[in-house]
Amino acid sequence: MRTPIEQRLRERLTAARASGRWRAPRTLEGMQSPEQVIDGRPVLAFCSNDYLGLAADPRVTTVARAALERYGMGAGAAHLVNGHTRAHAELEADLAEFTGRERALLFSTGYMANLGVLQALMGRHDTVLEDRLNHASLLDASRLAGCRIRRYRHGDAEHAAALLEDVGPERQSLIVTDGVFSMDGDLAPLPALAAAARRRGAWLMVDDAHGLGVLGEGGGGSCEHFRLSPSETPVLMGTLGKAFGTAGAFVAGSQTLIESLIQFSRTYIYTTAMPAAIAAATRESLAIAERESWRRNHLQNLIGRLRKGLSELGLLHTGSVAPIQPVVLGASGMATAMADALLERGLLVPAIRPPTVPEGTARLRITLSAAHTETQVDRLLGTIDHLLPRIRGACAQAV
Ligand SMILES: *Cc1c(COP(=O)(O)O)cnc(C)c1O
């Protein structure tokens, strides 16, 4: 006899399969790099978040190997017990300096960092204002914090300010936003959000997972791009698994913020510290990311080249300056047919469909890396150009 749980899970799986929204991981052989073998097939990939091409950098792996010898593999305990090594302490100091904040604190992942910040800062009577298109972890974070949640229209600082007016001035509130949005690569209106927060004595939290390392002359991310001071963006969250090519995340801010997270953040307190070798390797990749500005320049050059090509194909729909470049194709069928046809030709570009994006805006989501070459970008553009009439024709017939 099947238990009710099993019965229901089977029904939901059947429904998910039927909806055409089935998800399954592909298996990558070897390192993250543009040319890779995935599910046994050689492809040129345009979907990783390794924006600066550091995930497989030999200097980073060399440091990691040396740190493995010194510290061993596992941290063995939480930071507050005895898992916090010299390597962790040094990385936190580097991250504070890099971001121009008083202090920084490591978390095991960005997801955990977001959960930990909102839970530590916000109580039942407090209000979090969230952009409608914020990352899932930020939305989950305010739910878990049990605070009041107000979602403002995407990128609309005036709407955020208006919602803030409704919160009593005696109430504590926090505006939370992605710095660079993960689906469209567009930037949050940080200066206007910071001004709105300041007027009401609220704080602004920026999740800069896709901006740090990439935007700003020194890779300081969205805050550097907009020349915002630390006091205008009091809570900065960054991930280490994207542009910095390693794993984990951090929060940077004032002594008061960081000390509060250490005392009150459950996802900091009740979890094992990241392996020290990852912390040591991240110090190296952070230093490279900061120093080798040619990576950012090359990436911007590739972004410009891709955008020019898309524009010539009539496929440019956004002003994104980030390595995330959506190609909106419209119907879900168009986007999946294009992604499938590209894969047949050895190009891995994911199709993003509703409900992840609004109805009628199914798209390819191209992400570029400093590890790509101009020739590879040209190959992608040429293949899209070649396939477009056929895909359009096939989809028109299907309608
Ligand atoms: C990737 C991402 C996260 C989660 O970070 P992980 O370290 O991968 O858990 C959080 N916020 C945004 C905007 C992200 O893109």
67: Cβ–Cβ under 8 A, 6 or more apart, which residues? Answer: 87, 276, 277, 279, 280, 281
Indicate the range of 152-156, 205-209, 234-238, 329-333 predicted with least confidence. 329-333
The predicted model gives 115-144 an average pLDDT of: 96
Q: Are 301 and 345 in contact (CB under 8 A)?
A: no
Which residue is it, tokens 């459950």? 266
The predicted model gives 357-385 an average pLDDT of: 96
What confidence tier does 397 reach under pLDDT thresholds 50, 70, 90? confident
Distances (CA, A) of 50 to 209, 324, 372, 384: 11, 11, 11, 23
- What is the percent of the chain where pLDDT is above 90? 90
pLDDT of residue 20: 75
The answer to whether the CB of 85 is under 6 A from ligand 1 is no
Q: Are 199 and 161 in contact (CB under 8 A)?
A: yes
Residue 222 CB neighbours (<10 A): 26
pLDDT of residue 338: 96
Q: Summarize pLDDT for 164-185 with one digit per residue, the tens.
A: 998 877 789 999 999 999 989 9
Using the predicted structure, report yes or no on whether residue 271 has a pLDDT greater than 80.
yes
The predicted model gives 112-116 an average pLDDT of: 98
β-bridge partners, 288: none
Q: Both tokens of residue 319?
A: 């002003």
Cross-sheet strand order for the sheet of 351-352: 324-330, 362-367, 351-352
Average of per-residue pLDDT values in the chain: 95
Give me the phi and psi of 88, to 5 degrees please.
Answer: -65, -45
- What is the percent of the chain where pLDDT is above 70? 99
Report the C-alpha gap between 289 and 151 in whole angstroms. 34
* Atom 12 of ligand 1: nearest residue by CA position: 209
* Atom 5 of ligand 1: nearest residue by CA position: 110
Using the predicted structure, report yes or no on whether residue 99 has a pLDDT greater than 70.
yes
What confidence tier does 214 reach under pLDDT thresholds 50, 70, 90? very high
The answer to whether the CB of 383 is under 6 A from ligand 1 is no
β-bridge partners, 127: 148, 173
Ligand 1, residue 208: give the atom nearest the CA: 13
Distances (CA, A) of 193 to 71, 156, 225, 261, 327: 43, 9, 15, 23, 28
Which residue is it, tokens 């009439």? 389
Q: Summarize pLDDT for 9-64 with one digit per residue, the tens.
A: 999 999 989 987 788 999 999 999 999 999 999 999 999 999 999 999 999 999 99
Q: How far is the CA of 395 from the centre of ligand 1 (A)?
A: 34
The answer to whether the CB of 137 is under 6 A from ligand 1 is yes
> Could you list the active site residues?
182, 210, 242
Give me the phi and psi of 204, to 5 degrees please.
Answer: -115, 130
The answer to whether the CB of 299 is under 6 A from ligand 1 is no
Using the predicted structure, report yes or no on whether residue 399 has a pLDDT greater than 70.
no
The answer to whether the CB of 246 is under 6 A from ligand 1 is no
The predicted model gives 337-351 an average pLDDT of: 96
The answer to whether the CB of 209 is under 6 A from ligand 1 is yes
* Atom 15 of ligand 1: nearest residue by CA position: 209
**Among 207, 214, 236, 240, which is best to mutate for testing ligand 1, by the most ligand atoms less than 8 A from CB?**
207
The answer to whether the CB of 186 is under 6 A from ligand 1 is no
Using the predicted structure, report yes or no on whether residue 276 has a pLDDT greater than 70.
yes
Nearest C-alpha neighbor of 235 from the set 205, 200, 209: 205
Ligand 1, residue 242: give the atom nearest the CA: 1
Q: Are 133 and 180 in contact (CB under 8 A)?
A: no
DSSP summary character for residue 79: I
* Atom 2 of ligand 1: nearest residue by CA position: 209
pLDDT of residue 393: 86
Instruction: Give me the domains of the chain, ranges plus CATH numbers.
Output: 27-49+293-398 (3.90.1150.10), 58-291 (3.40.640.10)
Q: Are 58 and 371 in contact (CB under 8 A)?
A: no
Nearest C-alpha neighbor of 54 from the set 257, 354, 225, 290: 290
**Among 32, 112, 115, 135, which is best to mutate for testing ligand 1, by the most ligand atoms less than 8 A from CB?**
135
Paired sense of beta strands 127-131 and 148-152, if any? parallel
What confidence tier does 76 reach under pLDDT thresholds 50, 70, 90? very high
Using the predicted structure, report yes or no on whether residue 317 has a pLDDT greater than 90.
no
Q: How far is the CA of 352 from the centre of ligand 1 (A)?
A: 17
* Atom 1 of ligand 1: nearest residue by CA position: 209
Report the C-alpha gap between 309 and 312 in whole angstroms. 5
What confidence tier does 395 reach under pLDDT thresholds 50, 70, 90? confident
Q: At what angle do helices 86-99 and 276-291 cross, to 10 degrees?
A: 30
* Atom 10 of ligand 1: nearest residue by CA position: 110
The answer to whether the CB of 131 is under 6 A from ligand 1 is no
The answer to whether the CB of 222 is under 6 A from ligand 1 is no
Paired sense of beta strands 203-207 and 173-178, if any? parallel
The answer to whether the CB of 79 is under 6 A from ligand 1 is no
Ligand 1, residue 109: give the atom nearest the CA: 7
Range 356-388 burial, b when 16+ CB lie within 10 A, else e: ebeeebbbbbbbbbbbbeeebbeebbebbeebb
The answer to whether the CB of 51 is under 6 A from ligand 1 is no
Classify the phi-psi angles of 173: left when phi > 0, otherwise alpha if psi is within -120 to 50, otherwise beta: beta
Using the predicted structure, report yes or no on whether residue 298 has a pLDDT greater than 90.
yes
* Atom 14 of ligand 1: nearest residue by CA position: 209
Amino acid present at 39: D
